[in-house]
């Protein structure tokens, strides 16, 4: 790939432009808001202009609702040989592209699974996609050339490509992202009017569970609307399991001993399935997060405490795979859990203890 056009210089478009520019690709930038394109250019994303010759790849980083028309225009004006987009829902994009009369052989859907809480070109980073999955959804008409150009794009951005059907993609993100968002929002919503003293004893469990419910509502309204059928399907299955769980809980609490026993078995089975499903989620480097051992250390709330702790890990030659800080209400001391290779956990805990740290492991 020698040249590219980014249409739509928001967070994702500008980040792609920055990544490609760094790898020596000649990048053109276009946005309905000309100042956004100029901002992306001033950040080093390329030239705020349309190409005079067709570039290798045009990346359509515009809102989902505008992809069809943008593709039709970009193709009729011959801005590029191959076209892709970055929307988080894919089957509708293909329909829209077809409806708009686009040449589908030169189009391939794309979805980099990366993002930030901030938006706009100023939030862009060339390494936004580093190590992230980037799904490509070739349609039946997509040419081998289009696929290969897109694979090169993904590679230049440092992302990890995965090829799926558009429908398959939409069901996958409904399952692993969109439905979980609503599941979290529904749980968090139950706290809105809860009594203060109930909320006050909340711990890390519900905080982690509902973290994604803190996300920007407007962005999520659009995502939920765009992928509504697939999300509804996942949540309907979820709801069926949930009513089984409620039934089992009521049986456990009820007077019928046999029903109580069966209810308890059903709950046990649900917990087991939850364990099994959770274990499948990739952790760092694709390995299950369950494979690390937690070493818990008590620290005071002073600047430098974590630095001293990680310095101790470094001196011990221990790589900290993950960190969890356990906040305590109304206290200055906290608990830090360092997740490390089980093979070194005991040695590490001992060495921390010997250095004066209070270790809970």
Q: Does 122 bind a second copy (CB under 8 A)?
A: no
Stretch 140-159 residues interacting with a second copy (CB under 8 A): 158
Neighbour-count burial for 242-259, b at 16+ CB within 10 Å, e otherwise: eeeeeebeebbeeeeeee
Nearest approach, Cβ of residue 204 and a second copy (Å): 8
Near a second copy by CB under 8 A: residue from 22, 38, 66, 125: 125
**Strand-strand pairing, 293-299 and 334-340:** antiparallel
Residue 49 Cβ, how far from a second copy at the closest point, in Å? 27
Give the SS3 label for residue 6: strand
* Residues of this chain, 269-308, that bind a second copy according to CB under 8 A: 270-286, 289-290, 294, 296, 298, 301-304, 306-308
> For residues 327-346, which are near a second copy according to CB under 8 A?
327-335
* Binding positions for a second copy, 158-187, rule CB under 8 A: 158, 160, 162, 164, 168, 171-173, 175-177, 179-187
| Total of chain residues touching a second copy, rule CB under 8 A | 138
For residue 205, what are the contacts with CB-CB under 8 A and spacing of at least 6? none
Please give the Cα distance from 53 to 43 (Å, whole number).
24
Structure-token pair, residue 264: 């308890």
Q: Are 141 and 104 in contact (CB under 8 A)?
A: yes
- CA-to-CA dists, residue 351 to 86, 265, 320, angstroms: 48, 43, 14
Give the interface segment with a second copy, choosing from 42-50, 51-59, 78-86, 232-240 (CB under 8 A): 232-240
Residue number with CB closer to a second copy (48 or 184): 184
Smallest distance from a second copy to CB 252, Å: 4
Which CB atom, from 76 or from 275, has the smaller least distance to a second copy? 275
């Amino acid at each position: 790939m020698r040249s590219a056009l980014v249409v739509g210089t928001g967070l994702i478009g500008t980040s792609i432009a920055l990544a490609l520019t760094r790898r020596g690709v000649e990048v053109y930038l276009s946005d309905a808001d000309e100042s956004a394109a100029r901002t992306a250019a001033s950040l080093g994303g390329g030239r705020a202009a349309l190409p005079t010759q067709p570039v290798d790849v045009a990346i359509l980083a515009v809102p989902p609702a505008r992809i069809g028309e943008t593709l039709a225009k970009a193709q009729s004006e011959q801005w590029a040989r191959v076209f892709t987009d970055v929307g988080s829902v894919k089957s509708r994009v293909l329909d829209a592209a077809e409806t708009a009369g686009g040449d589908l052989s030169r189009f391939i859907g794309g979805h980099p699974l990366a993002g930030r809480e901030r938006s706009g070109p100023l939030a862009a980073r060339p390494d936004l996609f580093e190590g992230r999955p980037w799904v490509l959804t070739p349609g039946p008409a997509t040419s081998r050339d289009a696929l290969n150009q897109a694979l090169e794009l993904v590679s230049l951005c440092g992302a990890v490509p995965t090829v799926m059907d558009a429908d398959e993609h939409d069901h996958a993100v409904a399952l692993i992202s969109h439905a979980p968002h609503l599941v979290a929002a529904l749980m968090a919503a139950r706290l809105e009017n809860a009594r203060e003293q109930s909320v006050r004893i909340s711990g890390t469990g519900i905080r982690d569970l509902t973290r994604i419910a803190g996300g920007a509502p407007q962005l999520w309204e659009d995502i939920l609307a765009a992928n509504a059928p697939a999300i509804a399907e996942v949540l309907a299955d979820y709801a069926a399991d949930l009513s089984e769980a409620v039934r089992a809980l009521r049986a456990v609490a009820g007077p019928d001993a046999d029903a109580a026993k069966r209810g308890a078995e059903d709950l046990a089975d649900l917990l087991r399935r939850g364990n099994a499903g959770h274990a499948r989620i990739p952790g760092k480097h694709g390995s299950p997060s369950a494979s690390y051992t937690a070493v818990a250390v008590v620290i005071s709330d002073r600047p430098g405490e974590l630095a001293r702790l990680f310095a101790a890990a470094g001196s011990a030659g221990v790589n900290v795979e993950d960190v969890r800080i356990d906040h305590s209400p109304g206290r200055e001391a906290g608990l830090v859990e360092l997740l490390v290779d089980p093979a070194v956990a005991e040695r590490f805990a001992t060495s921390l203890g010997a250095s004066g740290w209070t270790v809970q492991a």
